[in-house]
Structure formats: structure tokens, C-alpha cells
Chains A and B, each alone.
Chain A
């Protein structure tokens, strides 16, 4: 099994176009669009969707205000500046789990996100 990866330093150089051309010319080949920020290959190839799977990766912290006594340990220890005024910003949270570990009231739980 041979794997060919198409990369470039610069964006917009024509990776997707090149890969799509290979797809048009090849048989029995699997194409993986790894540009997960903005996957475009399917726009050219117009494939039929066979299967969609949820991808769960890092967790996000959630704070239960009913248990919170506002001691501030979570805010002090969050390296990502994700907790402000006892509200957790899910976009900034990197899912490390330090706040859950450090909270003396067990007010924070980590859960998986898609």
C-alpha cells in the first residue's frame, strides 16, 4: 500500500486541484481530505456520502453554579484564560482538566465535545 501526501507551505497553491485531478485519473484509490479547517475536495469530486461519524476529541469544562463558592482557584490555575467571572468559555477551554481537579467543591466536570 502506497500513501502519497500532497502538502505545500503556502496556501492557495493548488493542492486540492492537483489531488482532484489525480482522483479523476485513478482507479481504486482512497482520498483523504486532511484539511480539516476547510475541507474542499468534496466540492470538486461531489461524492456520495456513505457514512458520517462523529469525531469526539478533547473535553470541555462545565461549571455547576449551584456548587460553586467562588473561591477562585479555577481562575487562578487556568493557563488558558478560559474562566472569567466563574463562567467557562468553551472556545478558549483546552480541556486540560486542571480546574476539575483543583475545585474543592467538585463544581466542575469535564465532558466530551464533538
Chain B
């Protein structure tokens, strides 16, 4: 099953998770059955190109999106596309995958998502972080 993670730099297991889903320069795609790692370039209009990030992920066969946070409209769209979204990931792709596998992340669904009203500093172990959560 393919898991996509927006990444800050050139992608890969050691690259850091990007805080911005739509404007991440790359999306690192990991097949959790084969272990294969692939990097997709963000060629969407956000980066001066064409089309939209959800299409890039959908066309690559993504079934799960792991990210730090995601806006409500995007959560709704991914739900329609049948892609599960998990938020509160941080650090590197490798670490984010570990958090996902250990159930430390929060599943973001249309009904459960609420819009942010206050900014909370990302503290590891805090309300906005999956790291170390059970």
C-alpha cells in the first residue's frame, strides 16, 4: 500500500516532513509492502506548474497521506478520493512512518476535523504532535 508524505527538500526517508501540504516541493511515496521509496515532484500550480497536488498523489496510487496538518477542503477531497489522511506527523519521513505504524497519529476525517482557531506551538509530545503518543 502506498503512503505519501509531503517533504521539505528533495524527498526520501531522511527528508523532513513539510508543514505545508500544497506547497511542499516534493512528495515522498513509500510502498509499505515492498519498501520501495519514490519521490514525486510537486508540479502543481502551487509551484508554478499545472494541476493540483491531490491529482499527483491519486495518480501515483496513494492510499494513505501522512502529514503535519491539512485544511478542511483538502481533507474532504481526499475522503472523496478514498485516501485516508493522518495528521500530526513530524520530523523525518522515516520517523513519521514509525509514528503512523505505531498508531500515534490522528486520523483526519471530514466530520471530526475542526478549523483551527489558535496557533499552538509544535511541541513534541504536545497536543499537536504524534511523537511518543500511544
Could you say which residues of chain B place their CB within 8 Å of the CB of A1?
8, 19
Residues of B16-32 whose CB lies within 8 A of A:
19
Taking the closest CB of chain B, its distance from the CB of A104, in whole angstroms, is: 28
Interface of A is mostly: loop
Could you say which residues of chain A place their CB within 8 Å of the CB of B19?
1, 3
Could you say which residues of chain B place their CB within 8 Å of the CB of A3?
19
Q: How far apart are the CA atoms of A109 and B8 in the complex, in Å?
A: 38
Could you say which residues of chain A place their CB within 8 Å of the CB of B8?
1
Who on chain B is nearest to A56 by CB? B48
Q: How far apart are the CA atoms of A59 and B79 in the complex, in Å?
A: 34
Q: What 1/0 flags go to A1-35 for Cβ under 8 Å of B?
A: 10100000000000000000000000000000000
Q: How far apart are the CA atoms of A1 and B19 in the complex, in Å?
A: 9
Taking the closest CB of chain B, its distance from the CB of A78, in whole angstroms, is: 23
Q: How far apart are the CA atoms of A1 and B9 in the complex, in Å?
A: 12
Q: How far apart are the CA atoms of A97 and B8 in the complex, in Å?
A: 35
Q: Could you tell me which B residues sit within 8 Å of A by CB distance?
A: 8, 19
A-B contact pairs, 3 of them (CB 8 A): A1-B8, A1-B19, A3-B19
